[in-house]
Amino acid sequence: MAALYACTKCHQRYPFEDLSQGQQLCKECRIAHPVVKCTYCRTEFQQESKTNTICKKCAQNVKQFGTVS
């Protein structure tokens, strides 16, 4: 029996070959949470919702200082 490894998002177990190389995500989690570029700093981050277009760091700055003008 082959060893199974947990997806880092949903924690379900899959063969190692079925998980993504970088973040060890299953196919369903890769589709549900794609990697996108932040609108402000252009770094790549994993999108939590379809409306979220900025990374957590920039979201914190917007919350603290207001939107970029």
Q: How many domains does the chain have?
A: 1
Domain ranges, residue 60: 5-66
Note if the pTM is more than 0.85: no
Enter the tokens of residue 32: 């549900």
How far is the C-alpha of 58 from the C-alpha of 14, rounded, in Å? 33
Provide the pLDDT confidence category of residue 46 given band limits of 50, 70 and 90.
confident
**What are the pLDDT digits (tens) for 8-39?**
989 999 999 999 888 899 999 988 888 899 99
User: What is the rounded distance in angstroms from the CA atom of residue 36 to the CA atom of residue 27?
Assistant: 16
Q: What is the pLDDT of residue 1?
A: 64
* Confidence band, pLDDT 50/70/90 cuts, at residue 63: very high
